[in-house]
Amino acid sequence: MSEIRRDEVHNYRPGPDSEAPLDEGEKVLATYAPDPRRYWVDAGWITAITIVLVAVILYFMGNFDQLPIAAPAIVIGMVARTAWFRSEVFARRWRLTQKRLVGPQGRAVMLLEIKTVRRLMGDVQIVTTSGAKHLIKHLADGAAVVAEIEAARAKRAKVAR
């Protein structure tokens, strides 16, 4: 009979232990962690958008009179979801070094491989030259993070020449 082996993905635990170690001489320039206020604001927006979409669907189904029941149910569900995932979200952080951006789950992006850095509401999206996409979520000031990453990338490009 064959042996059933546990998939490595189930061994993941969020937090600093899941991050790739820094190379020798590598210094952390900045650390990006989720902002609690932004986390709840983002959840509020998702909840509001969901209520509007459900209201439209109920209207076209002819059941708009059920919105007073659906809206509180959506709010309760989204608050429960947001509270449940809070500990996992806040255990994730990204670190900017002079060579790379180090994220959770062993993710690391060399600064010179970054093609695009852009703000998406309270998040920052990083797109690499190979097309890989990474998202730094729930930041208090996404514009400042974009500026820091772009400045570090420009500085690294000068060193590489």
Residue scoring higher pLDDT (145 or 12): 145
Q: Are 115 and 127 in contact (CB under 8 A)?
A: yes
Tens-place pLDDT, residues 86-138: 988 888 899 999 999 998 888 899 999 999 999 988 899 999 999 999 999 99
pLDDT (average), residues 71-95: 93
pLDDT on residue 127: 96
Query: Are the C-beta atoms of residues 31 and 94 closer than 8 Å to each other?
Result: yes
Sign of the dihedral defined by the CA atoms of residues 32, 38, 40, 46, in that order: negative
- Give the pLDDT score at 88: 85
| Residue 96 host element (H or E) | strand 94-97
Q: How high is the pLDDT of residue 101?
A: 95
pTM equals 0.81
| Residue 63 and residue 116 in contact, taking contact as beta carbons nearer than 8 Å | no
| pLDDT tens digits for range 15-56 | 677 777 888 999 999 999 999 999 999 999 999 999 999 999
